[in-house]
Amino acid sequence: MKRALAWLAGLAMVAAAAAVGHLTLTEGQQQSPFVVQAALGDPAVGRTFAVTVEQVRAADAVADAGGWHAAGNWVVVDLEAQARESETASILTLIELRVGEVVYGASERPVSLVDTPLSVGLPQSGSIAFELPESLTSGAATLRLGRTAEDRLDSVAELQIDLAALERRPSIELRETAWAQ
Protein backbone atom coordinates (compact mmCIF):
# COMPACT_ATOMS: atom_id res chain seq x y z
CA MET A 1 0.00 0.00 0.00
CA LYS A 2 2.73 2.39 1.07
CA ARG A 3 4.80 1.36 -1.93
CA ALA A 4 1.97 1.97 -4.39
CA LEU A 5 1.41 5.37 -2.80
CA ALA A 6 5.09 6.27 -3.28
CA TRP A 7 4.94 5.29 -6.94
CA LEU A 8 1.74 7.26 -7.46
CA ALA A 9 3.18 10.33 -5.78
CA GLY A 10 6.35 10.03 -7.88
CA LEU A 11 4.42 9.74 -11.14
CA ALA A 12 2.20 12.65 -10.14
CA MET A 13 5.26 14.81 -9.54
CA VAL A 14 6.77 13.85 -12.90
CA ALA A 15 3.47 14.69 -14.59
CA ALA A 16 3.28 18.00 -12.75
CA ALA A 17 6.85 18.87 -13.76
CA ALA A 18 6.06 18.02 -17.40
CA ALA A 19 2.93 20.18 -17.27
CA VAL A 20 4.84 23.13 -15.84
CA GLY A 21 7.48 22.68 -18.51
CA HIS A 22 4.89 22.71 -21.27
CA LEU A 23 2.70 25.49 -19.91
CA THR A 24 5.45 27.96 -19.05
CA LEU A 25 5.82 30.57 -21.81
CA THR A 26 9.16 30.70 -23.55
CA GLU A 27 11.19 33.89 -23.47
CA GLY A 28 10.04 34.64 -27.02
CA GLN A 29 6.40 34.24 -26.03
CA GLN A 30 6.78 36.33 -22.89
CA GLN A 31 8.25 39.19 -24.91
CA SER A 32 6.19 38.79 -28.07
CA PRO A 33 4.67 41.95 -29.56
CA PHE A 34 1.01 42.85 -29.10
CA VAL A 35 -0.41 42.13 -32.53
CA VAL A 36 -3.17 44.33 -33.90
CA GLN A 37 -4.80 42.50 -36.80
CA ALA A 38 -5.37 44.92 -39.64
CA ALA A 39 -7.88 44.60 -42.45
CA LEU A 40 -7.96 46.48 -45.75
CA GLY A 41 -9.68 49.82 -45.27
CA ASP A 42 -10.03 49.54 -41.48
CA PRO A 43 -7.83 51.50 -39.09
CA ALA A 44 -5.48 49.36 -37.01
CA VAL A 45 -4.68 51.20 -33.81
CA GLY A 46 -1.42 50.47 -32.02
CA ARG A 47 -0.01 52.00 -28.84
CA THR A 48 1.74 54.91 -30.55
CA PHE A 49 0.38 54.87 -34.08
CA ALA A 50 -2.68 54.12 -36.19
CA VAL A 51 -2.54 52.86 -39.76
CA THR A 52 -5.13 52.15 -42.40
CA VAL A 53 -3.94 49.95 -45.23
CA GLU A 54 -5.99 50.90 -48.27
CA GLN A 55 -4.70 48.62 -50.97
CA VAL A 56 -1.94 46.15 -51.68
CA ARG A 57 -0.88 45.50 -55.27
CA ALA A 58 1.96 43.82 -57.11
CA ALA A 59 3.89 45.35 -59.99
CA ASP A 60 6.67 44.55 -62.44
CA ALA A 61 7.98 48.08 -62.16
CA VAL A 62 7.53 50.99 -59.78
CA ALA A 63 8.15 54.70 -60.06
CA ASP A 64 8.01 57.58 -57.63
CA ALA A 65 6.87 61.15 -58.16
CA GLY A 66 10.51 62.28 -58.40
CA GLY A 67 11.17 60.32 -61.57
CA TRP A 68 12.94 57.33 -60.04
CA HIS A 69 11.78 54.04 -61.49
CA ALA A 70 12.94 50.44 -61.40
CA ALA A 71 11.83 47.10 -62.74
CA GLY A 72 11.57 44.09 -60.47
CA ASN A 73 9.08 42.08 -58.50
CA TRP A 74 7.42 44.69 -56.32
CA VAL A 75 4.63 44.71 -53.75
CA VAL A 76 3.19 48.18 -53.21
CA VAL A 77 1.16 49.06 -50.12
CA ASP A 78 -0.94 52.26 -50.12
CA LEU A 79 -1.80 53.41 -46.62
CA GLU A 80 -2.62 56.22 -44.25
CA ALA A 81 -0.73 56.58 -41.01
CA GLN A 82 -0.75 58.88 -38.01
CA ALA A 83 0.85 59.09 -34.60
CA ARG A 84 -1.24 58.75 -31.47
CA GLU A 85 0.08 60.46 -28.38
CA SER A 86 3.38 62.01 -29.36
CA GLU A 87 5.22 63.21 -32.41
CA THR A 88 8.59 62.48 -30.85
CA ALA A 89 10.39 59.79 -32.81
CA SER A 90 7.17 58.97 -34.61
CA ILE A 91 8.68 57.35 -37.71
CA LEU A 92 7.46 53.82 -38.36
CA THR A 93 10.82 52.05 -38.37
CA LEU A 94 9.37 48.54 -38.44
CA ILE A 95 8.04 48.07 -41.95
CA GLU A 96 8.52 44.54 -43.17
CA LEU A 97 6.95 41.78 -45.19
CA ARG A 98 7.35 38.29 -43.83
CA VAL A 99 7.05 35.32 -46.13
CA GLY A 100 7.53 32.19 -44.06
CA GLU A 101 10.77 32.72 -42.15
CA VAL A 102 12.13 35.27 -44.58
CA VAL A 103 11.88 38.98 -43.79
CA TYR A 104 11.90 41.66 -46.50
CA GLY A 105 12.35 45.28 -45.51
CA ALA A 106 10.63 48.23 -47.14
CA SER A 107 12.71 49.49 -50.03
CA GLU A 108 14.55 52.73 -49.38
CA ARG A 109 15.11 53.22 -53.11
CA PRO A 110 11.95 55.16 -54.00
CA VAL A 111 10.71 58.22 -52.12
CA SER A 112 7.89 56.80 -50.00
CA LEU A 113 6.26 56.87 -46.59
CA VAL A 114 9.39 55.15 -45.26
CA ASP A 115 11.23 57.50 -42.86
CA THR A 116 8.31 59.96 -42.70
CA PRO A 117 7.63 61.34 -39.20
CA LEU A 118 3.96 60.89 -38.34
CA SER A 119 1.73 63.60 -36.87
CA VAL A 120 -0.85 63.29 -34.13
CA GLY A 121 -4.38 63.45 -35.45
CA LEU A 122 -3.35 64.35 -38.99
CA PRO A 123 -3.11 61.20 -41.05
CA GLN A 124 -0.61 61.11 -43.88
CA SER A 125 -1.22 59.20 -47.04
CA GLY A 126 1.54 57.45 -48.92
CA SER A 127 2.97 54.22 -50.22
CA ILE A 128 5.49 51.62 -49.20
CA ALA A 129 7.27 49.37 -51.70
CA PHE A 130 8.84 45.97 -51.13
CA GLU A 131 11.30 44.49 -53.60
CA LEU A 132 11.04 40.68 -53.67
CA PRO A 133 12.97 37.99 -55.54
CA GLU A 134 11.68 37.40 -59.10
CA SER A 135 10.28 33.96 -58.30
CA LEU A 136 8.31 35.01 -55.23
CA THR A 137 4.81 35.61 -56.59
CA SER A 138 2.72 33.29 -54.45
CA GLY A 139 2.34 32.25 -50.85
CA ALA A 140 1.12 33.77 -47.63
CA ALA A 141 2.81 36.97 -46.52
CA THR A 142 2.41 39.16 -43.45
CA LEU A 143 2.81 42.92 -43.60
CA ARG A 144 4.11 44.15 -40.22
CA LEU A 145 4.12 47.79 -39.17
CA GLY A 146 5.43 49.11 -35.88
CA ARG A 147 7.09 52.04 -34.17
CA THR A 148 10.50 50.45 -33.60
CA ALA A 149 12.44 47.73 -35.32
CA GLU A 150 12.74 46.32 -31.79
CA ASP A 151 9.16 45.03 -31.66
CA ARG A 152 9.19 43.16 -28.36
CA LEU A 153 6.36 44.08 -25.99
CA ASP A 154 5.04 46.83 -28.24
CA SER A 155 2.12 46.87 -30.63
CA VAL A 156 2.59 45.73 -34.21
CA ALA A 157 -0.10 46.02 -36.87
CA GLU A 158 -0.22 42.91 -39.03
CA LEU A 159 -2.03 42.35 -42.30
CA GLN A 160 -2.23 38.93 -43.93
CA ILE A 161 -1.60 38.99 -47.66
CA ASP A 162 -1.95 36.27 -50.28
CA LEU A 163 0.75 37.13 -52.80
CA ALA A 164 -0.87 35.08 -55.59
CA ALA A 165 -4.18 36.92 -55.20
CA LEU A 166 -2.70 40.42 -55.52
CA GLU A 167 -3.74 42.57 -58.43
CA ARG A 168 -0.64 42.71 -60.66
CA ARG A 169 0.10 45.81 -62.73
CA PRO A 170 2.88 46.34 -65.28
CA SER A 171 3.83 49.52 -63.46
CA ILE A 172 2.73 51.47 -60.37
CA GLU A 173 3.61 55.00 -59.39
CA LEU A 174 3.95 55.37 -55.65
CA ARG A 175 1.74 57.91 -53.96
CA GLU A 176 3.40 61.12 -53.01
CA THR A 177 3.41 61.33 -49.22
CA ALA A 178 0.87 64.01 -48.32
CA TRP A 179 -1.84 64.85 -45.82
CA ALA A 180 -4.70 62.43 -46.27
CA GLN A 181 -7.86 63.91 -47.76
- By the 10 Å C-beta count (0-12 exposed, 13-18 middle, 19+ buried), 91 is classed as middle
Which residue, 89, 113, 93, 118, is CA-closest to 105?
93
Interaction of residue 132 with other proteins, rule CB under 8 A: yes
Smaller CB separation from other proteins, 105 or 117:
105
Please state the separation of Cα 11 from the chain's center in Å: 45
The DSSP call for residue 164 is: G
Buried b (16+ CB within 10 A) or exposed e, 18-40: eeeeeeeeeeeeeeebebbebee
Pairing of strands 102-105, 124-132: unpaired
Shortest Cβ 181–other proteins spacing (Å): 31
Q: How far apart are CA 115 and CA 94, in angstroms?
A: 10
- Residue 136 sits at φ, ψ, to 5 deg, of -90, 90
Q: Which stretch binds other proteins (CB under 8 A): 14-22, 86-94, 129-137, 155-163?
A: 129-137
The Cα angle at residue 31 between residues 29 and 34, in degrees rounded to 5: 90
Supply the minimum distance, in Å, between the C-beta of residue 81 and other proteins: 20
Does 58 interact with other proteins (rule: CB under 8 A)?
A: no
From 34, 133, 140, 164, residue interacting with other proteins (rule: CB under 8 A): 133
Give yes or no for residue 66 binding other proteins (CB under 8 A).
no
Query: Considering the rule CB under 8 A, would residue 63 count as an interface residue with other proteins?
Result: no
105 belongs to the binding site for other proteins (CB under 8 A): yes
Of the candidate spans 8-16, 81-89, 99-107, 158-166, the one that interacts with other proteins by CB under 8 A turns out to be 99-107
Total binding residues toward other proteins, as defined by CB under 8 A: 17
In this chain, which stretch among 18-26, 65-73, 86-94, 118-126 interacts with other proteins, using CB under 8 A? 65-73
Q: How far is the CB of 15 from other proteins (least distance, A)?
A: 21
Q: Is 153 in the site for other proteins (CB under 8 A)?
A: no
Q: Binding residues for other proteins, per CB under 8 A?
A: 3, 68, 70, 72, 101-105, 107-109, 130-133, 136
